[in-house]
Chains A and B, each alone.
Chain A
Amino acid sequence: MLEFKKMAKPAATTDDLFPLVYAELRRLAAAYLRREQRGLTLQPTALVHEAYLQLSSNGEAIWQDRAHFLATAAVAMRQVLALQARRRKAAKRTPGLAAVPMDGDIRDPVLWDYDELDQALDRLQNEAPELCRVVEIRYFGGMSVEEAAAHLNVSPRTVKRHWMLARAWLNRELGPGHPA
């Protein structure tokens, strides 16, 4: 029976995983919100890791390994955060179009403009795709250097070098004050 199940379900592609990752991120975010902790700082990578734990504990893992999941989730996270930033900006430009929480600035401080980061990463993707990928899986997927190295099939040293250079490049692109 087990073998049968595997046969009927081919290894999931990134596309197949998207809805799953979204649903889980959503559930987790709602759970954190329910805890009503003011001043709670939760990081994207922490959320992605928790999503992985949740999704792999129900026994029906359909991605190949943890890195495969984190890489997928990283892309999802990047898009979600960029979109959120864009919508926030749009809402500020045209007041009343989308609800902006009254005490929004107190509850969710925007320290980082994920929209600008997203656009910068698009440019980096054109210039040096390897650097962009490292940022994506480290920054949004929270992979360790070793995990990233295994996933990208390069040495940890290369990952470290890419990572350092990419962060310098992003700092330069996005101006001072962004702790990339």
Chain B
Amino acid sequence: MSPRWQAIERLFHAALERPVSQRESFVRTEAEDQQLAAEVLALLDAAPSEDAPLTQPLDLHGLMEALGSAFLSGKQLGHYRVGDLLGEGGMGLVYRAIDQRDGSTVAIKILPPGQAMHPNRLERFRREARAMAALRHPAVICIHEAGSEDGVHYLVMEYLEGETLRQRVQRAGPLSAEETIECGLAISSALEMAHLAGITHRDLKPENVMLTPAGPKVLDFGLAHLDERDSPQRTTLDGVLAGTVAYLAPEQIEGSPGTPQSDIFALGVLLYEAVTGQTLFQRANPIATARAILHESPDYRSVPLTMRPLLRRCLAKSARRRYQSAGLLRADLEKIKSGTRLVEHRALPWMAAGVVAALAVLAVVWLVHSRFPRRPDPRAIANFRLGEYHWNRRTPESMRKSVDYFRQASTMDPSFAPAFGWLAESLAMLPEYGVQDRRNTEAARQAAERAIQLDPKLYIAHVALAWIFFSYDWNWAAAEPEFRKAVALAPNEALPHQRYGLGLISRGRFKEAEAELVRAQQLEPFAMLPMINLAELWFYASRFDLEEAQLRKVLDRDPGYVLARAMLAKVDIITGRSKEAIAEVRRLLAMPETAMWCTELTEAYARDGQRDLALKQMAVCSLSRPPLPTTFIYLGQPRRAIATLEEWYSNRVPYVAYLNVDPDYLPLRGDPDFKKLLKEVGF
């Protein structure tokens, strides 16, 4: 404590021991200066009585809210490390987060515990999130996954940089006519796709449109009606958030559920407000706002002439008089963009408008079919997108799911080449995720061949075929031309470079491998996998200094990336820094879901000469993961190492392809059985 505070405390307690009447004169005489005296006297005035209660009663509801949602910063949720709070909305708190599997930044929305407590609502939230995950569109925020942990329910989304349309208009005034049309094109095209998939937005408003460098993105698709249906506050008009009422369509105010036409109405309001900078129906209270929506006709004087007919149709009070699909609205926006004047449809009776709309739909369908004779079945596309989504998540479970979806897509449309190509790719990846079944690999081969038959230029089919030759057949002579073909077909895709790089590592062609992996990293600068692959390259090249530097780079970007830390520990093991390795692996094992790294602890103990501990550790590990051949090498049991390798060989474990370059097997180099094995693998 500072000398000043020591003086305060001394004087304060000395004065307290005196009768109240003498305290002031005592303090004034004893204090070294006036300021100190004043301070102590003020504190004496505020001195508590002995029996004052220690703490206040708790607000348990508030406590639950606080504990349940806001304390997640810095915590781990599923695969995500939660960062700072980005904002708070009706549906929950949104945080920035890092996906620890690849280091990418995502946004996580946490459902308020109050909402999550209703099982029906939760189930609907999950179902909706799954539907949303399938909705892939450049103008729709991408939903990665919905999960829950310890009763906390969350939605993982693409992280967007930018501002909402509302913020943009408030900051810089109305958009130009051109900007408004671009915005309208993006949103109507997103609505078009969502409506085809049976999803309506129901809460389209300027707060739900983000303007990002990559264009406008629609948020909160299809989630809005979750509250509408279940929350008592939302069933009556005065309970609805004031900002939301202003974008409801007349029929919604009258109690109908949201339809594609009500989304079109909301888009009309949104575009009107964007281009004029003024609110359209917003009034002092929700009732007045609702009345305005039902009865008042918008003032179009500040709307650019070219856009008036379009907005009139969006904002028709009767849903039947509006655009009958978002696609028709988009088509009109495109016409305006290209300078065509729109004809007003006001005079048409609704029946005629409906017929015209129906004819227009037919015309569009016909056009599409005539222009793309092999347009894939829409159901096949939907399954294909789901397959892509699961492939991207790269977990054993998601890989299996992606296989199912790609397979369904290929069955639904047997001439849809990408479905076969990606089916081959995901099947070929299964062994990497621990799914060992020869039939999968044979199916992958067939799918790749079928895809190439349908479209010889499909790079993914060549990637898959190359991978089968490389990691399953161990036939490098066949694999390399396929890798090269894939790279040549898609020089700007990271995947062919990355896979070819891994193949080159196994052949000890480290310089070329480095070039490919660096290229992959440049093409996908935010992906963690190519960075990790580069570290792996240096491991196999026995350049542990470079590996360490590379891993530090990974950890700079994401200090919590467990894989990188485990690989660093492995560097410590192989370079003899066993004490550091032991400490680090133990730290890792104290974290959730890190049991697989317990084999590293075994190796670290063995390397440290603590054989008994190592054996014990191995016994513990074998409960969750069978021992690795390297573990036996560290324990000085080369025969068991080779036996395990032989087993891997007969099970066609893909790793065997790297046997010739793995520095861990240096001690086995002279062993005749090991040599024989290498030869059989094609070295």
Contact = CB atoms under 8 A, between A and B. Distances in A.
Given A101-B61, A109-B57, A165-B13, A7 B48 contact: no
B43 interface: yes
B127 to A, nearest CB: 23
B67 A180 contact: no
A179 to B, nearest CB: 4
B175 interface: no
Contact of A84 (B13, B65, B616): B65
Contacts of A172: 42-43, 45-46
A128 B43 contact: no
A83 B54 contact: no
Interface in A127-180: 127-128, 130-131, 138-140, 142, 161-162, 164-165, 167-169, 171-172, 179-180
A77 to B, nearest CB: 9
A87 B62 contact: yes
A12 B66 CA distance: 24
B151 A45 contact: no
A30 B117 CA distance: 11
Contacts of A85: 62
Given A4-B620, A26-B151, A172-B43, A108 B59 contact: yes
Contacts of A33: 60-61, 64
B16 to A, nearest CB: 8
B44 A168 contact: yes
B52 A180 contact: yes
Nearest to B2: A128
B53 A179 contact: yes
A14 interface: no
Given A7-B586, A10-B590, A29-B67, A42 B57 contact: yes
B344 interface: no
Majority DSSP secondary structure for residues of B touching A: helix
Contacts of B64: 26, 29-30, 33
A164 B54 contact: no
Nearest to B71: A22
Majority DSSP secondary structure for residues of A touching B: helix
Interface stretch (B4-12, B138-146, B248-256, B651-659): B4-12
A167 B70 contact: no
A41 to B, nearest CB: 4
A158 to B, nearest CB: 9
A179 B52 contact: yes
Contacts of A169: 43, 46
B29 interface: no
Nearest to B240: A96
Given A26-B151, A97-B90, 6 more contacts: A84-B66, A99-B112, A140-B55, A171-B46, A172-B43, A179-B53
22 contacts: A4-B620, A8-B590, A22-B71, A25-B63, A26-B67, A43-B55, A44-B56, A80-B71, A81-B63, A83-B66, A87-B62, A97-B90, A104-B61, A111-B56, A127-B2, A142-B55, A167-B47, A168-B44, A168-B48, A172-B42, A179-B48, A180-B48
